[in-house]
């Protein structure tokens, strides 16, 4: 990221702070729009009530009726970490609430396609479900929901993706991002009930709930309904659903949704369970195989170590492996599955590295200074990895990128995964291309920063041209320059192991609530290459010296005598010692 421009955040540390809160922390929180401890460190008691979500009443009534009626419930997930943790929360949570017949189904990427597809409905026929509960999918699965309804199954959709113009004809829908529709779930243009749900969602302040978070909210609402109906009066113990928060935290962080106040409360509670060891055996096993110390686990460890190992199963194999790991109550079995996931993840990294190298070469030959929207493709690429390639290439080029691979059994199609930059809503961009070029995009869906789509093979050149043209129209030139937001300089006398620990514990940090990043000028006193690609440095500022590391920083030339760096205060744990080090995110000449 040597081309990035460092820009310092504005920060007014004024606010309602306790006297013992470190001044640097006040400044960090204030720069993120937080001015009191309740918002800085939200608790579960601060969560928005489930009753505020649109559709939650109908959905909880449907689910409670299925539990009371001893019906067969199948939780239908997606093949990413959010979907896998959502399935685990659904299966475990429904059993805690008293459901006796709970199973799950998750699509295989190359066989069933995305979400609740007609092909997946056909595969579920032997399960003979009475009720399907989707998690992290369903809002765009119009054909799949219709296929399930034709078989006489009820369908409850929980999702967090943006809907298309026509909603699936489900029995209930809970999606905080259901804010508009052309035809509702009752197949009407105007529907008082669905319009009430839309108004409730518009007022709901946490539209960034991950799929796993939406389902957790539904379980909370269903427990409250069953309590009111006397379900727990007949010798049944009302369950503590907070035991699921470790899974909610992992899915929320891994899906890179914005960590607003609500999500931070969920993730912080989940991290407390993980650090205390009161977590699912599968998560404990995944921490072990990834080399993450459970007692000091952070959201970054989830995002870079645990989440990718769960995701790898859905990318290259069958996500059922990841779900079984999360559902296992046997520590040895969970560890065996975690080791399998670790092996799949190593394979995924090898595939990703090769594809990314090829994508960089393709972009170098086809992208010039005027290009605003980038499309890359290759016949030999794996559809499960193109999202990672698009993300890495987007970071390198600082342009929205769509990477395509053959769609496998779907026949004659490209499957694309899109990643965007701030200021360019990628899902809305696909919708606009769909409007301008009807029929060009076979299907699409997603968020502001990430989306997926399908194309006929012959239409890829036309789509690439349309995508670049729209990006040139919509993206101002200054948005194509990478900007690194810094929390400013730190006085060298304030840089300490204690402050690094306070910053670590002040999280959870993540999307929308970024980990503290500082910048400053240092003299390079010493340096060496470690692990072939990384730089280990000794830096000096203000009369003090600091150990520092820059991962991937060795580019074949020694660093200059003086550097301007953006860095994080990090803790280097080695054997039984802990020491301060600077983790360099960006380096340039001063």
Asked if 505 and 512 count as a contact pair (C-beta separation under 8 A), the reply is: no
410 lies in a domain? yes
What residue numbers bound the domain in which 238 lies? 52-244
Residues 210 and 100 in one domain: yes
Say what the pLDDT of residue 190 is: 84
Residues 85 and 207 in one domain: yes
317 lies in a domain? no
Q: What is the CA radius of gyration of the chain?
A: 24
Say what the pLDDT of residue 318 is: 85
Residues 101 and 222 in one domain: yes
Say what the pLDDT of residue 53 is: 97
Residues 526 and 429 in one domain: no
Q: DSSP of 194-227, one letter per residue? A: HHHHHHHHHH-S-TT--HHHHHHHHHHHHHHHHH
- Residue ranges, the chain, pLDDT below 70: 1-3, 409-411, 590
Alpha carbons within 13 A on the beta-carbon side of 189: 0
Tell whether pTM > 0.75: yes
The beta strand positions in 447-512, using DSSP E, are: 450-456, 483-486
pLDDT, tens only, 531-564: 889 999 999 999 999 999 999 899 889 999 999 9
**Using omega within 30 degrees of 0 as the cis cutoff, is the peptide bond preceding 508 cis?**
yes
Say what the pLDDT of residue 590 is: 66
Say what the pLDDT of residue 1 is: 38
Start-to-end CA span in the chain (Å): 15
Determine the 3-state secondary structure of 352 from DSSP. Answer: helix
Cα–Cα distance for residue pair 244/461, rounded to 1 Å: 46
Which of 457, 480, 503 marks a domain boundary? 480
Residues 476 and 508 in one domain: no
Residues 451 and 499 in one domain: no
Cα–Cα distance for residue pair 23/519, rounded to 1 Å: 17
Cα 105 to chain centroid distance, Å, stands at 21
Cα torsion 221, 226, 228, 230 to 10°: value is -170
Residues 123 and 192 in one domain: yes
Residues 399 and 423 in one domain: yes
25 lies in a domain? no
Residues 465 and 567 in one domain: no
Cα–Cα distance for residue pair 233/326, rounded to 1 Å: 30
pLDDT, tens only, 477-520: 888 988 899 999 999 999 999 999 999 999 999 999 999 999 99
135 lies in a domain? yes
Residues 94 and 223 in one domain: yes
Residues 224 and 98 in one domain: yes
Q: Which helix H or strand E contains 104, and what residues bound it?
A: strand 101-105
Closest CA to 132 of 172, 188, 84: 172
Say what the pLDDT of residue 572 is: 92
- CATH number of the domain residue 560 falls in: 2.40.50.460
- Split into its structural domains, the chain has a count of 3
Which of 244, 277, 305 marks a domain boundary? 244
Q: Which residues contact 462 (CB under 8 A, 6 or more apart)?
A: 437, 440
């Amino acid at each position: 990221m040597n081309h990035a421009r460092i820009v310092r955040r504005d920060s007014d540390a004024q606010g309602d702070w306790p006297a013992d809160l470190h001044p640097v922390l006040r400044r960090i929180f204030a720069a993120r729009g937080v001015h009191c401890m309740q918002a800085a460190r939200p608790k579960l008691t601060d969560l928005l009530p489930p009753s505020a979500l649109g559709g939650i009443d109908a959905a909880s009534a449907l689910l409670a009726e299925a539990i009371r009626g001893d019906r067969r419930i199948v939780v239908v997930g997606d093949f990413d970490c959010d979907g896998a943790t959502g399935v685990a929360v659904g299966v475990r949570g429904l059993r805690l609430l008293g459901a006796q017949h709970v199973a799950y189904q998750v699509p295989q990427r190359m066989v069933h396609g995305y979400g609740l597809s007609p092909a997946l409905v056909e595969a579920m026929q032997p399960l003979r479900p009475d009720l399907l509960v989707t998690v992290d999918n369903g809002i765009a699965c119009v054909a799949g929901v219709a296929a399930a309804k034709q078989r006489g199954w009820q369908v409850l959709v929980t999702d967090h993706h943006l809907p298309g113009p026509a909603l699936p004809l489900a029995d209930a829908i809970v999606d905080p991002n259901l804010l508009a529709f052309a035809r509702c779930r009752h197949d009407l243009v105007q529907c008082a009930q669905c319009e009430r749900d839309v108004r409730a969602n518009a007022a709901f302040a946490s539209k960034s709930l991950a799929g796993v978070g939406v389902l957790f909210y539904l379980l909370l609402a269903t427990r409250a309904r069953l309590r009111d109906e006397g379900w727990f009066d007949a010798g049944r113990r009302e369950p503590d659903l907070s035991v699921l928060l470790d899974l909610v935290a992992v899915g929320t962080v891994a899906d890179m949704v914005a960590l607003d106040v609500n999500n931070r409360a969920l993730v912080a509670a989940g991290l407390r369970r993980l650090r205390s060891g009161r977590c699912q055996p599968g998560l404990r096993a995944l921490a072990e195989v990834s080399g993450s110390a459970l007692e000091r686990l952070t959201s970054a460890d989830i995002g870079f170590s645990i989440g990718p190992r769960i995701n790898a199963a859905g990318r290259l194999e069958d996500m059922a492996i990841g779900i079984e790991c999360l559902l296992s109550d046997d520590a040895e079995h969970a560890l065996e599955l975690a080791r399998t996931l670790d092996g799949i993840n190593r394979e995924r990294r090898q595939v990703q590295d090769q594809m990314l190298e090829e994508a960089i070469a393709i972009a170098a030959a086809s992208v010039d200074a005027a290009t605003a929207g980038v499309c890359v493709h290759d016949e030999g690429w794996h559809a499960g990895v193109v999202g990672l390639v698009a993300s890495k290439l987007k970071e390198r080029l600082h342009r929205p990128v769509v990477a395509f691979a053959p769609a496998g059994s779907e026949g004659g199609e490209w499957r694309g995964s899109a990643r965007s930059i701030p200021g360019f809503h990628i899902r809305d961009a696909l919708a606009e291309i769909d409007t301008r070029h009807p029929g060009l995009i076979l299907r699409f869906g997603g968020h502001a920063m990430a989306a997926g789509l399908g194309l006929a093979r012959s239409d890829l050149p036309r789509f690439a041209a349309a995508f670049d043209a729209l990006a040139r129209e919509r993206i101002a030139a200054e948005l194509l320059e990478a900007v690194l937001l810094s929390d400013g300089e730190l006085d060298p006398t304030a840089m300490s192991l204690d402050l690094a620990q306070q910053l670590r514990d002040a999280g959870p940090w993540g999307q929308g609530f970024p980990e503290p990043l500082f910048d400053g000028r240092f003299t390079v006193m010493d340096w060496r290459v470690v692990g072939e690609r990384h730089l280990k440095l000794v830096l000096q500022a203000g009369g003090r010296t600091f150990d520092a590391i820059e991962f991937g920083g060795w580019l074949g030339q020694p660093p200059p005598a003086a550097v301007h760096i953006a860095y994080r205060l990090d803790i280097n744990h080695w054997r039984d010692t802990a020491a301060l080090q600077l983790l360099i995110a960006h380096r340039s000449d001063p």
